[in-house]
Structure 1
Amino acid sequence: MKTVHLIQHTHWDREWYFTENDSRVVLYYFMQDLLTRLEQDTTLGPFILDGQTVVLEDFMRVAPDERERVQRLIHEGRILIGPWYTQTDFLVVGAESIARNLLLGKADCDTWGGTMPVGYVPDSFGQSAQLPLFLREFGIDCAVIWRGWCEYDVASSEFDWVAQGGRAVTTAVLPWGYGCAKWLPTDADKAMDVLPAILQKQARFSLTDELLLPNGNDQSPFEYGVPAMLDALNERQQDYRFQRSDFSAFFAALRATKTPLPTFSGELLSPKYMRIHRGIFSTRIDIKLLNARLEQFVSQTLEPLLAVNMRLGLPYPQQAVENIWREAMKSHAHDSIGGCNADRVNSMVKARLTDGLESARQLFDLNMKMLAEGISARQDGKKIILFNPLPHVRDAQVTLTLYTPHADFRIVDDAGNPCRWQLLRETPQDMSTIVQELSNSTTTTWYRKCEILLEAAALPACGYRTFSLQEGQPAGFAHQTQDTDALENAWLRLELEDGQLTLTDKRSQQRYPHILRLVDGGDAGDNYNYSPPAQDWQITSDGCLTKSHCVRATLNDTLTLHWRIPAPVDAAARQAHECNGLLEVAMTIRLPHDRPWLDVEIDVNNTLRDHRLQVEIPVGIEQAFHFADQPFGLIQRENRPAALQHWQAENWTEAPASLWPMQSLVMLHNATRGLCAVTEGLREYEIPAAQTGVIAVTLLRSVGWLGLPDLPWRPGRASGMVLPSPESQIPGQHHFHLAVLPMAEGQSAGFWRAVEHWRTPASGYLDSGWSRFRTNPHGLRFADHYSVLAWDCALHFSTLKKAQNGNALILRGWNPGLTPLPCVTPDVNTAAQPVTLAETPVDALSDTVAPGTPLSWRMDY
C-alpha cells in the first residue's frame, strides 16, 4: 500500500497578468475564508501558505485586526509559513538577494512564531545548483522543487542534492507540478475517476511508496472538502492510504524507509516535463539592469559605507535599508523579475526598483556628506572622499562628478601631492536645480559639470581616504591627449582595421579577431521565450561603421565607435528581407593604462521591434564546455547541450537551447587562450550552435506579447496569456556596460583579483559645501583616512553590513573559482566569529574555503 501525503496549499503570485493591487484584494477574501474554515473544523490542516511570508505582510495591510487569528493558527501548526520572504527566482537575482530573502523570511517567521523548515520552491523557472547551499546555511536540510528536473539529471524524484562546495539537502520533486491535484471532487465516487491517473504519475519516478499529493493552485481557495473525501476513500480501497500531511512529515516518512537515495550535483534546467522559459534571462533588460544595479549598490557600496559610519558613531538606518531590500524582493519572483507580465505590472516592478535605487543613493549621499562634515582635511580646498568597500588596500581609478566655476583645478592627496585625472565628459550645469540654497534665486548660476577619472593610490581597506579639490590652480601634471591608431598598455593591444576589432594579449601573443561584433536577429517569441524566426535574417555591424576616434589620454586609451546599421523594423520586414529601419549604436572602449581589461560601454537607440541584439566575443577554441558564475560560485556547462539531440523526438515542452543565465560572468578558455566577459547587469549569454567557440552576450531583446502559442522552440499552448505587451519592445535609449578580460594564465589569482576590482569599484564624493538637503551638524570628528577592518585574501567580497540582530558587523566573501582557498581571519580590533548566512555561529571552521562557498564573520563591538 502506498502512503499518499495530502499537501494542501495555495501558490500565490503577487502579480503577473494582474497587479499586486488585484491580488491583495483577492488575498483578503482568500484569507478570511481560510481562517474561518480552519477555525470551524479543527481537523483541517496543516495548510501551506506558499512558503513566503510576504503573503502575511500583504494580508496585514488590508486586515491588520486579523493578526491574532492568524498567529494562533500558526502556533498550532495549522498554517505553515516561510522559510522565504518572497518566492524568488534563483537564476536572475543576485546571491546576496537570495541570502537576504531567507534572512528576512526567518525574521518574519520568528515574529509570527513558527516556520516551515523546508526549502519549498514550487515555481522558480529552473533551479540553481547552489540552492542546497543556501538552505543548509539556514539549517534547512530538505527541499521540494518543481521546474527543471527530468530523469536525465537524476533517475528518481527523490535524491540527495549537493551544492558546489559539498552542502547537501534531501530533495523531492513535484514532477507534475504543485497543481497536479488541484480542484479535486469532494464526492468520493467522482474523485476515484480522476485520482488513480494522478497517483500513477506521482509514483512514476518515486523510489518509495511515500507519495506527495499537492492540492492547490495559483491564487486558489482552500479545498476544505478534500480531506474528508480522502478519509472516505481510505474506507473503500486498499491501494492507497491517504493522510493529511505536510512536507516535514513526508521527509520523515521517506527517511524512515531507509531507502538509499541517489546523489546529484548541478543545476536543474531541463524543460522536458515543464517549461523553464529561458527567455526570461533577457526579457525587459531595462528591469534586469536596474535590479542588478540596485543589488550591487546596496550590498557592496551603501551597506559597507553605513558600516564604516556606524563604527565612527553615526546611526545605522537599518530599517530603511531593510525596506529597500523588501521592496526589491517583491520584484524578484519568477514572473516579476522575469518580465513575463502585463505591461502595467512591468511598470510597477520597475517603479519599485527605481524607488529603491533612489532611496539607496540618497542614503549614500547623506552619509558621505555627514562623513565629510566630521573630517578636518590636511590640505586646503574642498574635500573629496574616496571610499573603498573592498577589504583590502587598493589602487583605483575612481569616477567622480565635480561642479566648479573655474577653468582650472587640481586634486591633491592628503600629503599635498597632485593626483592625475582624466576628463571623461563636460556639460554646463544650472546649480539652482541641484542646490537647495540656490533654488529660489532670481539669477542662474552656471558651473562646469565635469565627470572625471581620478587616479588614487592606497585606498584603505573597507574605508576611506580624503583628497582635496583646489580650484583655480593648474592640475599639477601634464595632461596627455593625442590621437593614436590603437589602444595599448603593458598587457593588451586593440586595433581597428577595416571596421573590425582585433585584440592581442601581449603576454601570450594570442590574437582575438572580430571581437565585439554586433549581431541583430529576429525574435518571434514572447516575454517568456526567445524564439528564432523560421528563417532568420541576421544583420551585423560589419560595414556599418560611420565614425571612429582613438585617443591616448592620461589614464586610459579610448576608442569611440559609431554604427548606423540598416535593419528590418519588425518581424514582417525581416521576413521580407527589407531594411526599412535603422539601428544606431555607439560603443566606447577604454583600455586603462594599469589594468589588463577592456572596459566597454554600449549605447543603443532601439527603434526596432521583434528582434534580439547580441555582442559577440569570439574565443577561437574548440572544446565542449565553458564556465559562468552562479550565486556564490562558478558552474561548468556544455557548449552544446546533449539534450538537443532528442528533445523533439521525446516531445519536450521546450527546447533545451544553449541560452544560459549568469550572475555577471562567462568565460571560455583553455590553459593558454581564453576570454572572459564580465557584465554590469546583463544576465544572459549564448554559445551559438554553429559557433561553439563564440560567446554571444545578449544586450536586449524586443517582443510584443506576454504569451504566444506554437513557438518552434516551445510548441503547444501559450505560456501565460495571449496578451499584447507592446512596452516589452523596450523602445528608446539603453546603456550597457561590460568588460573583456583575456585569460593568458587561465583562472589565476591575478585574473580573479582583476575581476573583483572591475565588479566592485571605489566611489567618490565631493563635499562642495552645498546640498539638496540641509542637516544639523552632528558634532563628531573623524580622521582624514580610516579603515574599519582588513581581510586581504583571495575570497571575493560580498558585503559588509550591520547584523540583523545586535550592534555587530557581518563581513562576507566567497570562493569564486574551482579550487579551495585558505580560510583567513579578518584583521579587526575585536573578536571575529564565523557565522552562517543566517548569522548563527558556525560550530567548526575548516582551514580552507571550498569552491562555490561563502564565508561570513560576525564582529561584535
Structure 2
Amino acid sequence: MKTVHLVQHTHWDREWYFTENDSKAVLYYFMDDLLQRLEADKTLGPFVLDGQTVVIEDYLSVAPDQEIRLRNLIEQGRILIGPWYTQSDFLVVGAESITRNLLLGHADCQRFGETMPVGYVPDSFGQSAQLPMFLQQFAIDSAVIWRGWSEYNVPHSEFSWLSADGSKVTTAVLPWGYGCAKWLPDEPQQAQKALETILAKQTRFSSTDHVLLPNGNDQSPFEYRVPEMLDKLNQQQDEYRYVRSSFSQFFQALESTQIALPVYQGELISPKYMRIHRGIFSTRVDIKQLNAQLEQTLSQHLEPLLAVNWRLGLPYPQSAVDNIWREAMKSHAHDSIGGCNSDRVNAMVKNRLESGLEMANQLIDLNMKMLAEGITAQQDGKKIIIFNARPQTRHGLVELTIFTPEQDFRVVDGAGHECRWQIVEEGRQDMSIIVQELSNSTETTWYRKCKLLLEVSEIPACGYQTLYLQEGVSAGFSPQAAAVVKLENEWLRLEADEQGVLTLTDKRSQQTYHNILQLVDGGDAGDNYNYSPPFDDWLISSNDFLTSVRGEEGLLQSCLTLTWQMAVPSDLTARNEHRADAELDISMTLTLAHKNRWLDVAISVNNTAHDHRLQVLLPTGVQQHVHFADQPFGLIERHNQPPEMAVWKEEQWTEAPVALYPMQSQVMMHDAHRGLCAVTEGLREYQIPEDRQDVIAVTLLRSVGWLGQANMPYRPGRASGMVLPSPESQIQGMHHFKLSLLAMNNGADSAFWRDVENARGNLHAWLATGWSRFRTNPHGRVFPPHFSVLNWDSELHFSVLKKAQHSDALVVRGWNPTLASIPCGEVITSGTITPATLAEIALEIHQEAVPTCAPATFVITF
C-alpha cells in the first residue's frame, strides 16, 4: 500500500496579471477564512503558507489586529512559514539577494515561531545548481521543487541533489506541479476518480511507496473539507493510505525506508513536463539592468561604506538597508523579476527597484559627506574620497564627475603628488539644480561639468584614501587627446575596416577574432515568457549600415566609437514581408585603457521597432562542445547544444530546450590557446546558435507585446499566463548596455580571474563640494585621511562587507569563481575572526581551501 502525504498549501503570487494591491485585498479574506477554519477544527493542519514570510507581512499590513491569532497558530505548528522571505527566481537574481532572502526570511520566522526546515521552491522558472549549497548554509537538509526536472536529469522524483562544493539535500520533485491536486471534490467517490488519475502521474517516477499530494493552488482558498474526505477514502479502499502530513513528515518517512536515492549534480532547466520559460532572462531588460544595479550598489558600495563608517563611529542604519533589500526581493518573485506580468505590474516592479536605488544612493551620499567632514585636510582644495570596497589594496582607474568654474585644475594626493586624469565627457551644468542656495537666484550660474577618469594607486583595502581637487591650477601634464583609427596597448589591438567590421588581436598569443561584436537583429514571435523565432525569420546584421567611425587616444585610455542606422522591420508583419521600414540608431563605444587587458564596450540603442530581438555576437573560433557561465557564487559548465533538442518535438515537451541560458554577469568559451569572455552589467541572457556553435550571442534586448500567446514555434500549445496585451514590453526608446570583453590566451588561469574581478570595478570616487541638497549638523568626529578595516590576501572574488545581521560585528564574504579549489587566504584585521555560514552561524573548522562554487564568510568582532 502506498502512503499518500496530503500537504495543504496555497501558492501566493503577490503580483502577476494583477497587482500587489489586488492580492492584498484577496489575502485579507483568504487569511480570515484560514484562521477561522483552523481555530474551529483542531484536527486541521498543518498548512504551508507558500514558504515565504512576505505573505505574513502583507497580511498584517491590512489586518494588524490579527497578529496574535496568526502567531498562536504558527507557534502551534498548524501554519508553517518560511524559510524564504519571497519566492524568488533563482536563475535571475544575484547571490547576495538569495542569501539575504534566507537571512531575512529566517529572521521573520524567529519573530513568529519555527522555520519550516525545507527549501520549498514551487515555481522558480528552473532550478539553480547552487540551491543545495544555499540551503545547507542555513542548515536545511531537504528541498521540494517543481519546474526544471525530468528523467533526463535523474530517473526518480526523489533524489540526493549535490552542489559542486559537496553540499547535499534530499530533494522531492512535484512532477505535475504544486496544483496537481487542487479543488478536489468533497464527495469520496467523485474524489477517488479524480485521485486515480492524479496519483497515477504522481507515482510514475517515485522511488518509494511514499507519495506527495500537494492540495492547493494560486491564491486558492483553503480546502478544509479534503482531510475528512480522505479519511473516508481510507475506509473504502486499500490501494492508498492517506495521511495528513507536511513536507518534513514526508522526508522523515522517506528516510525511514532506508532506500538509497540516486544522486544528481547540476542545474535543473529541463522543460519536458513543465515550462521553464526560456526568455524571462531578457524580457524587460530595463528591469533586469535596474535590479542588477541595485544589487551591486547595495553589496558592493553601500554596505561596505556603512561598515567602514561604522568602525569609525558613525551609525549603521541596519533597518533602512534591510528595507531596501526587502523591497528589492518583492521584485524578485519569478513573475516579477521575469517581467511576465501586465504592464501595470511591471511598472510597479520597476518603481520598487528605482525607489530602492534612490534611497541607497542617498545613504551613500550622506555617508560620504559625513566621512569627508571628519577628515582634516592635508592639502589645499576640495577633498576627493576614493573608496575601495574590496579587501585588497587597489590601484587603477576610477570615474569622477566634477563641477568647476575654472578652466584649469589638478588633483593631488595627501603628500602633494599629482595624479593623472583624462576628461572623457564634458558639458555645462546649471548649478541651481545642484546647490540649494542658488535655486532661488534670478541669474543662472553655469559651471563646467567634467566626467574624469582618474588614475589612483595604493587605495587601502576595505577603506579609503583622500585626494584633493585644486581649481585654477594647471595640471603638470597635457590632457590633450589625438585622433586614432585603432585601439592598441601592450596586450590587445582592435581595428575596424571600412564597413565597421571589427578584428581583435590578442598580442600575447597572436590569436585573432574577426567580425567581433557584430550586432544582429531578428524577429521575436514570443511573449513575455518565451523568446520564439518567427517560422521564417529574417536576420539583419550591422555590417551594411555603418554611418561613422571615430577614435581618440587619451592619456589613460583610447576609445573608438562606431554608429549605425540599421534598417529593420517595424514589426512581425513587416519582417514576414521582408520590409525594412524602421531604423535603429545604434552607437558602440569601445574603450581600451592603456594598462588594462580587457576591452570595455558601451552600446546605446534607440529602439523604434516592435517584435524583435537584438544580440551582439562573440565568435570565439573555439571548437569545443561546452562553454561556461557564472551562477550564484560559482561557475557552471553547459553544453553548447542540449542533446534533448533532437527529441523534444517527438516526445511533445512543453517547450524547446534551446541553448538559451541565464548568467549572472559572465559567459566564456575557450580552449588552451584562445577564447573570449564577456562580463556584463545587468545582461542576464546569452545563446549558443545552433548553426554556429563557436559563437556566444549576448542578448541586448527583446521587444514583445503580449503577456502570453499560444502556439509558438519554441512553445507549442496553450498560452502561458494570460493572453493579455503588454505594449510597454516593447520597451521603446533609448537603452544603454555595458560589457567588458576579455581575450583568453591561457585558459581560465589566475591572471584571467584577476582581470575578470578588476573589470567589475569596485573603486568609487566622491567629491566633497560643500554643496548639499540636505543639511545635517556636524557630527564632531575626526577621521584619518586614509583608513582600512581589513585586508584579505585571497584570489576569491569579493561579495560583500557589511554589519552582521544580529550582532555588533562585521561580515566579509568572498567566493570561488573557478572550477577548482583555491586557497582561502588570511583575513588580517584588529578584531577576532570566526569562519561562518551564510546564515552567519560560526563554523567549528576553518577550511584552508575553498571548494569550487562555494562562498567563504567570516564574522569579525571587535
TM range (shorter): over 0.9
Helix, strand or coil: the match of 2:23? helix
Q: What pairs up with 1:579-728 in 2 under 5 angstroms?
A: 579-728=580-729
Aligned partners of 2:444 and 2:479: how far apart in 1? 31
Helix, strand or coil: the match of 1:626? strand
Per-residue CA deviations over 1:446-480 (Å, capped at 9, x if unaligned) read 11111110000111101100000000111111224
Helix, strand or coil: the match of 1:837? coil
Q: Structure 1 residue 59 and structure 2 residue 59: aligned? A: yes
Aligned partners of 2:541 and 2:501: how far apart in 1? 12
Cα shift at 1:304: 0.2
Q: Structure 1 residue 38 and structure 2 residue 38: aligned? A: yes
Aligned partners of 2:543 and 2:825: how far apart in 1? 50
Cα shift at 1:26: 0.1
* CA contact 2:434–2:771 (8 Å) conserved in 1: no
Cα shift at 1:494: 0.3
Q: Structure 1 residue 523 and structure 2 residue 524: aligned? A: yes
Helix, strand or coil: the match of 1:614? strand
Structure-1 residue corresponding to 2:180: 180
* CA contact 2:10–2:216 (8 Å) conserved in 1: yes
Structure-2 residue corresponding to 1:860: 861
Aligned partners of 1:189 and 1:525: how far apart in 2? 43
Per-residue CA deviations over 1:286-331 (Å, capped at 9, x if unaligned) read 0000000000110011100000000000000111100000000000
Of 7-16 and 377-386, the range deviating more from structure 2: 377-386
Aligned partners of 1:760 and 1:208: how far apart in 2? 51
Structure-2 residue corresponding to 1:495: 495
Helix, strand or coil: the match of 1:176? coil
Aligned partners of 2:860 and 2:68: how far apart in 1? 37
Of 429-438 and 157-166, the range deviating more from structure 2: 429-438
Q: What pairs up with 1:115-264 in 2 under 5 angstroms?
A: 115-264=115-264
Aligned partners of 2:429 and 2:700: how far apart in 1? 31
Per-residue CA deviations over 1:269-292 (Å, capped at 9, x if unaligned) read 000000000100000000000000
Q: Structure 1 residue 324 and structure 2 residue 324: aligned? A: yes
Per-residue CA deviations over 1:526-551 (Å, capped at 9, x if unaligned) read 00000000000011101211011111
Per-residue CA deviations over 1:663-699 (Å, capped at 9, x if unaligned) read 0000000001000000001000000001100000000
TM-score (norm 2): 0.99
> What code does the residue aligned with 1:765 have?
W
Question: Which stretches of structure 1, 4 residues or more, deviate above 2 A after TM superposition?
Answer: none
> What code does the residue aligned with 1:676 have?
C
Aligned partners of 2:506 and 2:458: how far apart in 1? 28
Q: What pairs up with 1:284-683 in 2 under 5 angstroms?
A: 284-498=284-498, 499-683=500-684
* CA contact 2:14–2:23 (8 Å) conserved in 1: yes
Aligned partners of 1:760 and 1:6: how far apart in 2? 51
Cα shift at 1:845: 2.3
Aligned partners of 2:242 and 2:526: how far apart in 1? 43
* CA contact 1:155–1:205 (8 Å) conserved in 2: yes
Aligned partners of 1:846 and 1:791: how far apart in 2? 15
> What code does the residue aligned with 2:127 have?
Q
> What code does the residue aligned with 2:597 have?
P
> What code does the residue aligned with 1:645 have?
A
Aligned partners of 1:395 and 1:233: how far apart in 2? 72
Structure-2 residue corresponding to 1:823: 824
Cα shift at 1:483: 1.3
Per-residue CA deviations over 1:531-583 (Å, capped at 9, x if unaligned) read 00000001110121101111110110100111011111111111000011001
* CA contact 2:794–2:826 (8 Å) conserved in 1: no
* CA contact 2:837–2:843 (8 Å) conserved in 1: yes
Which structure 1 segments of 5+ residues have no match?
Answer: none
Structure-2 residue corresponding to 1:767: 768
* CA contact 2:300–2:762 (8 Å) conserved in 1: no
Per-residue CA deviations over 1:578-612 (Å, capped at 9, x if unaligned) read 01100110111100101100000000000000000
Aligned partners of 1:26 and 1:340: how far apart in 2? 21
* CA contact 2:547–2:565 (8 Å) conserved in 1: yes
Aligned partners of 1:409 and 1:307: how far apart in 2? 33
Cα shift at 1:761: 2.7
TM-score (norm 1): 1.00
Aligned partners of 1:565 and 1:823: how far apart in 2? 49
Cα 1:401–1:519 change in 2 (3 A) is same
Helix, strand or coil: the match of 2:269? coil
Per-residue CA deviations over 1:53-74 (Å, capped at 9, x if unaligned) read 0000000100000000000000
Helix, strand or coil: the match of 1:21? helix
Cα shift at 1:743: 0.7
- RMSD over aligned Cα, in angstroms? 0.6
Structure-2 residue corresponding to 1:23: 23
Aligned partners of 2:403 and 2:681: how far apart in 1? 27
Aligned partners of 2:366 and 2:740: how far apart in 1? 31
> What code does the residue aligned with 1:71 have?
R
Aligned partners of 1:752 and 1:772: how far apart in 2? 41
> What code does the residue aligned with 1:563 have?
W
Number of residue equivalences: 861
Cα shift at 1:113: 1.3
* CA contact 2:660–2:686 (8 Å) conserved in 1: yes
> What code does the residue aligned with 1:470 have?
Q
> What code does the residue aligned with 1:114 have?
E
Identity value in percent: 65
> What code does the residue aligned with 2:540 have?
I
* CA contact 1:390–1:760 (8 Å) conserved in 2: no
Aligned partners of 1:825 and 1:208: how far apart in 2? 47
> What code does the residue aligned with 2:352 have?
R
> What code does the residue aligned with 1:532 have?
P
Aligned partners of 1:373 and 1:20: how far apart in 2? 42
Aligned partners of 1:743 and 1:360: how far apart in 2? 36
Helix, strand or coil: the match of 2:828? coil
Cα shift at 1:824: 1.9
Structure-1 residue corresponding to 2:804: 803
* CA contact 1:300–1:760 (8 Å) conserved in 2: no
Aligned partners of 1:446 and 1:287: how far apart in 2? 35
Helix, strand or coil: the match of 2:67? helix
Helix, strand or coil: the match of 1:833? strand
Aligned partners of 1:683 and 1:37: how far apart in 2? 44
Structure-2 residue corresponding to 1:97: 97
Cα shift at 1:445: 1.2
Which structure 2 segments of 5+ residues have no match?
Answer: none
Helix, strand or coil: the match of 1:858? strand
Helix, strand or coil: the match of 2:606? strand
Aligned partners of 1:243 and 1:185: how far apart in 2? 17
Helix, strand or coil: the match of 1:83? coil
* CA contact 2:793–2:826 (8 Å) conserved in 1: no
* CA contact 2:496–2:502 (8 Å) conserved in 1: yes
Cα shift at 1:825: 2.6
Cα shift at 1:192: 1.2
Cα shift at 1:789: 0.5
* CA contact 2:485–2:560 (8 Å) conserved in 1: no
